Amino acid sequence: MKKILIVEDDKALHAAYRTILEKEKYEVFGAYNGQEALDILDNKKVDLILLDISMPKMNGIEFLEKFANVSGTKVIVFSNLDSEKEINKVYELGAHRYILKAWASPLELVKVVKDTI
């Protein structure tokens, strides 16, 4: 079973992503900021990280700067930020894909996840 870590501070979106991905038979873990995600990754290996950028405590870019991706885990950034500077930065830091939340429903997210892992 593939394992996914959702890093999203919006509780409603977090719950929607989790529900949809669990229905697709993924094992799902959740964090509400980058620091929580790093703490989870200290103990768990995941195949994919769905990462928001704008979060409290540690945002997505700060997370990517600290994340030591030694296992080849793929990262999909799923954010409302549409700044070329931000997009370029997440790719420089190792993100696999960048998707704007405004243009992708949770169901479309599942398709991207399936195409990625």
Average pLDDT over residues 62-86: 86
Burial environment of residue 107 by CB neighbours within 10 A (0 to 12, 13 to 18, 19 or more): exposed
Q: Quick one: pLDDT at residue 108?
A: 84
The answer to whether residue 60 is domain-embedded is yes
Residue 96 binned pLDDT confidence (cut-offs 50, 70, 90): very high
The answer to whether residue 45 is domain-embedded is yes
The answer to whether residue 117 is domain-embedded is no
- Boundaries of domain holding 71: 3-112
Q: What is the CATH number of the domain that holds 101?
A: 3.40.50.2300
Q: Which helix (H) or strand (E) holds 51?
A: strand 48-51
Q: Residue 21 in contact with residue 8, Cβ under 8 Å?
A: no
Q: What is the pLDDT of residues 3-60, one digit of tens each?
A: 999 999 999 989 999 999 999 999 999 999 999 999 999 999 999 999 999 999 999 9
Tally of structural domains, the chain: 1
Average pLDDT, the chain: 91
Give first-to-last CA distance, the chain, whole Å. Answer: 11
Q: Quick one: pLDDT at residue 109?
A: 82
The answer to whether residue 24 is domain-embedded is yes
The answer to whether residue 11 is domain-embedded is yes
Higher pLDDT pick, 49 / 109: 49
